[in-house]
Amino acid sequence: DKSPRINTTQIITPPQMRMPESNKFVDEMVGWFDEAKNSEQLLSDLLQKLIDEGPFVRTALIVVSKERDNAIVVASRGPDIGNGQKLVLDDPLSPLAKCFSKVQSFGSSRSTSSPWGSKAFALSPIDVDHSTPVALYADCGDERGLPFEARRIFRNMVDLLNQKLPQIPGGIPVEI
């Protein structure tokens, strides 16, 4: 087990959201994040909670190779995503290859920026202790858009993760 990278325990509460259900979900997640003891369990459970209690259909943790020409799904939840699935990153400027945040709310056709071709998705790097970039991915399915509240929930979860992960020991869950 790796030790924490920073020794603070304060989590900055995210801003209030528009929908009461969204506020309830985020508030519960803040409490749940406070109780997390290691990053592997936190990330593994978060993938499931974003589907079971949140607005998403698919979630994944994706590790990008050092060369940024491929990636591997180390943990996932939802249909049509498999743990151990290798993703070829043909476009060196894609959000996943560059490992930068990308939220696409809607689209008329499948997006090449999404590893699974979703019309709408959210992708963001997370500050986890790993030798190469790691991204959190979520979408609402192949045919649905990403509602405003889903985008806000995703951004809040990434913000909370990036505060909490350096404070707790561990790395990434590998469910291959």
> Hey, where are the domains in the chain?
20-167
Beta pairing partners, 63: 72, 134
20-167 adopts what CATH topology? Beta-Lactamase (3.30.450)
pLDDT of residue 8: 61
Furthest-apart CA pair in the chain: how many Å?
46
Q: What is the pLDDT along the chain (176 residues), one digit of tens a residue?
A: 566 666 666 666 666 767 788 788 888 888 888 888 899 999 999 999 999 998 999 999 999 999 999 999 999 999 988 899 999 999 888 889 998 888 877 666 677 778 888 888 899 999 999 999 999 999 988 777 788 888 989 999 999 999 999 999 999 998 98
Q: Which residue has the tokens 């406070």?
A: 34
pLDDT of residue 2: 63
pLDDT of residue 49: 94
